[in-house]
């Protein structure tokens, strides 16, 4: 295996263990009080883990696949957080089958909840995909405390930046910012209609 491929595999293989253990504990608790809700969370967890395993074995994915992965992750978090979490998606059909690096979007969403919304009484997430010139922009925006929510996310954001550089060279980037209205936004920018550098070098 090439050194680049090895680096990508190591950087990809980061399933948050606390998320898994906490979710399984929630499933056990829900089964005691509501079998239907427990089964619902377990179904989302199984689909989420199946998708993550598929991502970890793949060099590329699509916008639709990554949005679907995030949907199952957020469905689990919604059961856990209840009314403290709301979210929305904006994924134009024209971009749904566009190539997108696997497991990066869900990492941004995990960071947003863990470091921006975990203690928020009315946390909101917006996940969107847009085309800007010849680039694909996939953004995660939250209404958390802004740049203070970046504290503790260095490893996750650094991981994404390293993977983007390894896959696309200088043709991709991670942009972060605090909108004037508050909150925090992280955007993965990749070139449209262009294979990752790792695939081109194969």
- What is the reported pLDDT for 40? 77
pLDDT greater at residue 183 or residue 131 = 131
pLDDT at 18 over 70: no
Distances (CA, A) of 33 to 25, 26, 39, 77: 13, 11, 12, 18
- What is the reported pLDDT for 91? 92
3-state SS, 82-100, equals HHHEEEEEECCHHHCCCEE
pLDDT at 3 over 60: no
pLDDT greater at residue 124 or residue 121 = 124
- Name which of 138, 141, 72 is nearest 113 in CA terms: 141
pLDDT over 70 percentage in the chain: 70
| Number of continuous H segments (helices) and E segments (strands) in the chain | 7, 7
- What is the reported pLDDT for 23? 65
How many whole angstroms separate alpha carbon 96 and alpha carbon 75? 20
Mean pLDDT of 187-195: 83
How many whole angstroms separate alpha carbon 178 and alpha carbon 169? 26
Using a cut of 0.85, tell me whether the model's pTM lies above it: no
């Amino acid at each position: 295996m090439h050194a680049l491929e090895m680096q990508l595999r190591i950087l990809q293989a980061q399933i948050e263990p606390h998320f898994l253990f906490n979710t399984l504990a929630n499933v056990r608790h829900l089964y005691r009080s509501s079998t239907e809700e427990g089964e619902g969370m377990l179904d989302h967890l199984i689909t989420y883990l199946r998708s993550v395993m598929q991502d970890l074995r793949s060099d590329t994915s699509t916008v639709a696949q990554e949005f679907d992965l995030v949907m199952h992750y957020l469905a689990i978090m919604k059961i856990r957080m209840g009314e403290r979490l709301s979210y929305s998606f904006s994924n134009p059909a024209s971009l749904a089958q566009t190539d997108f690096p696997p497991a990066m979007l869900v990492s941004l969403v995990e960071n947003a909840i863990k470091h921006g919304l975990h203690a928020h009484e009315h946390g909101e997430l917006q996940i969107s995909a847009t085309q800007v010139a010849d680039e694909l922009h996939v953004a995660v925006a939250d209404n958390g405390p802004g740049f203070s929510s970046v504290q503790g996310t260095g490893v996750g954001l650094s991981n994404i930046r390293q993977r983007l550089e390894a896959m696309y060279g200088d043709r991709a980037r991670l942009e972060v910012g605090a909108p004037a209205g508050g909150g925090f936004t992280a955007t993965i920018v990749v070139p449209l209609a262009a294979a990752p550098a790792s695939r081109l070098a194969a």
